Amino acid sequence: MLMVIPGSDISRHAALMDRVFRFRHSIFVDEKAWADLRKVDGRERDRFDDENAIHHVCLRGDEIVGYQRLLPTTRPHLLTEVLGDLCRERSPQGPCVFEWTSFCVRRAGVTFDLGRTDHSSSLCKASLSGV
């Protein structure tokens, strides 16, 4: 199941979002060894996880198996504030343009049968369809 959680609704989904931030930490810090993101509390959360973010949480039962975040480009976001050196030219911006960030899929212990949906595909389809 794919849950779409607007940043303005994080408090309504506090327990799930706490698990999401821990999930992100486990993927980005523990698996990918991105030490700059390490947090003492084990939650990968940044200043862009505000009321303007759109969170996509992919669940298998109650287990988080994938996640991605969309940020409006009409406001400060990663490419304008943190990672601007990745773009040779000004990054696209506009009311219909979103930054696709924090994409992660759980690998450890997950097997995919032919009859099952690949969770990364579900997340990509959600982003590309404008969910």
- The stretch 20-31 carries a mean pLDDT of 91
Domains assigned to the chain: 2-128 (3.40.630.30)
Residue 121 has which token pair?
């595909």
pLDDT in tens, 107-125: 755 555 544 555 556 655 5
Could you tell me the pLDDT band of residue 6, with boundaries at 50, 70 and 90? Answer: very high
Residues in the chain: 131
- The stretch 68-73 carries a mean pLDDT of 92
Sign, CA dihedral 110-113-116-121, equals: positive
pLDDT in tens, 28-67: 888 888 888 888 998 989 889 999 999 999 998 999 999 9
pLDDT higher than 90, residue 101: no
Cα separation, 106 vs 14, in Å, equals 21
Instruction: Residue 24: name the closest of 119, 105, 117, 125 by CA.
Output: 105
Instruction: Residue 106: name the closest of 118, 124, 94 by CA.
Output: 118
Q: What is the pLDDT of residue 31?
A: 85
